[in-house]
Structure 1
Amino acid sequence: MKRFSFFTLFISLTVLLVGCSDTNETEKSGAVDREKPEAELLISAAASLTDVLEELKGPFEEAHEGITVTYNFGSSGKLATTIENGAPSDVFLSASSKDMNDMEDKELLVKESRKDFTENALVLITHKDSNRTISSFEDIDPAALDHLAVGEPESVPVGRYTKETLESLDLWESLQEKLVLGSDVRQVLTHVEMGNADYGVVYSSDAFITDDVKVLAEANAVWHEPIVYPGAVFAESKHQDAAQQFLDYLTGEEGKETLQKFGFK
């Protein structure tokens, strides 16, 4: 009788312990699930948007619980190519309509999500300590300079706008041996900041964020295609609703104020 009671007690304790263990595991699993973000967005964005987007990251995540944001910055052309080749992304923020048009033509975007959210201008810069005094792109003298930093025209939008501008002024061909090509607009800016080039051509927003360069001139808008920034959600995104929320935030009042803060139009 005693052995039977002891056996019954042993079985009861075993069931109780297993139940507690399952409960603990469930609680732990629930805690992990609660901590895991509902959506982890990957935003592919033009390098010129770096400071704006880093500024918006915290406020956006605070206002949208369960959504976290990671950025992949680079030239719009190169970002588009990597995505076309299968790289994952949820939102594309381009520094040119051309790259966005190419993506849309290939049906890679949620078409109705596309929206132009800001504009920019092209400026000629030099190092802050330079004594160069030209006041227009038209005053550039190929014989009077050693290096001009520009974006790579085939894949970097700022390089394409620069080429269009210099071609409009019949300067492109005569400057070929003087060009220092950057892989994105921030590399062009760095060349001038470091004194590796006499001049550089960047967006006005890039010159705005540094004290190491000074702006000599702004390009006439008729010399190049309009510098427009479109954004869109990718059709292959697994978090299209969250991606749209991010795009809405960027194009809303908070986004507009931050873009203006960093020198965008």
Structure 2
Amino acid sequence: MIRLRAVLFAILIAVLPCAVFAQQLTVSAAASLTEAFNEVGAKFQALHPDVTVRFNFAASGVLLQQIREGAPVDVFASADEQTVTRGVQAGLFDAATRRDFAANELVLIVPAAQGSPVKSVADLSNPAVRRIAIGKTSTVPVGRYTQQALEKALLWNALTLKFVQADSVRQVLDYVSRGEAEAGFVYRTDAVLMPGKVEIVQTVGGHDPVTYPVVAVSASHEQALAKAFIDYLLSPAAQGVLKRHGFSQP
């Protein structure tokens, strides 16, 4: 028994430093960043072996609400400027840490290999197009970009009854890839994830620039680590990852 206790004590002493000094960084990020951030996080951890990066991916507006309700988050990366600005105004984010780290494009997609009549935004008025997938404008940035583009084209009101509201840009992608919508609006980086299932028919303009800001959460207990992650996002290594996943510099 004494020997067993000695062994257990030795194991505890060996593990204790890791338990005491290990740090966890929680990053809430827009759904469109999923693949790129998983790779960036692995590289960041390789540089900081004592750090574990945990990601929470969802629509930017949903993530903001979670933080507002007290979710323990250290870093927030949004698919739009408006969501971060709202958080700064509410005192949730440290405005001094805010940085734009990536950019994207809004595209119109259709199911691939189905002979779609949709070749541009103007074709969405075609009676054959019954369902158009868009992000919820209240919580999903891609939905707000879509609304701006369609209002610019004087089509928003005319198409309202065709809209299928989605909880994230990835849900829009799923609706179109499964043929549950004849068209949809997503980011270019999302569309290229499903070659053979969706087809980009138009790069859509008439909206605010699609830029991605990142910011430290004011309530974070890992402020130094949060700022280190933000700095890393702007490094050549992280920018290279983002570029490989289709993002451009802001």
Both structures adopt the same fold (TM-score exceeding 0.5): yes
Tell me which amino acid in the other structure corresponds to 2:188: S
Q: What does 1:109-258 align with in structure 2 at a 5 Å threshold? A: 109-132=93-116, 134-211=118-195, 212-220=197-205, 223-258=206-241
Q: Which structure carries more strand by proportion? A: 2
Name the counterpart of 2:75.
Answer: 91
Give how far 1:224 is off.
Answer: 0.9
Tell me which amino acid in the other structure corresponds to 1:213: V
Deviations 1:204-244 (A, max 9, x none): 11012221211000112xx1111110001111111111112
SS of the equivalent of 1:114 reads strand
Q: What does 1:29-40 align with in structure 2 at a 5 Å threshold? A: 29-36=12-19, 38-40=22-24
Change (3 A) 1:29 1:172: same
C-alpha distance in structure 2 between counterparts of 1:186 and 1:34, whole Å: 40
Name the counterpart of 2:61.
Answer: 77
Does structure 1 retain, via aligned residues, the 8 Å contact 2:110–2:118? Answer: no
Give how far 1:42 is off.
Answer: 1.0
Give how far 1:70 is off.
Answer: 0.8
Gaps (5+ residues) in structure 2? none
Deviations 1:165-221 (A, max 9, x none): 11111111111111111100000000011111110100011012221211000112x
Q: What does 1:50-69 align with in structure 2 at a 5 Å threshold? A: 50-69=34-53
Name the larger-Rg structure: 1
Give how far 1:63 is off.
Answer: 1.2
Tell me which amino acid in the other structure corresponds to 2:18: E
Q: After the TM superposition, which of the residue ranges 69-78 and 32-41 deviates more from structure 2?
A: 32-41
C-alpha distance in structure 2 between counterparts of 1:136 and 1:60, whole Å: 40
Greater than 6 Å deviation, 4+ residue runs: none
Q: Could you tell me the percent identity over the aligned residues?
A: 35
Does structure 1 retain, via aligned residues, the 8 Å contact 2:118–2:183? Answer: no
Does structure 2 retain, via aligned residues, the 8 Å contact 1:43–1:69? Answer: yes
The alignment's TM-score, normalised by the length of structure 2, stands at: 0.92
Does structure 1 retain, via aligned residues, the 8 Å contact 2:108–2:202? Answer: yes
C-alpha distance in structure 2 between counterparts of 1:84 and 1:142, whole Å: 42
Does structure 2 retain, via aligned residues, the 8 Å contact 1:192–1:213? Answer: yes
Tell me which amino acid in the other structure corresponds to 1:33: L
Would you say how many aligned residue pairs link Structure 1 and Structure 2?
245
SS of the equivalent of 1:70 reads strand
The alignment's TM-score, normalised by the length of structure 1, stands at: 0.87
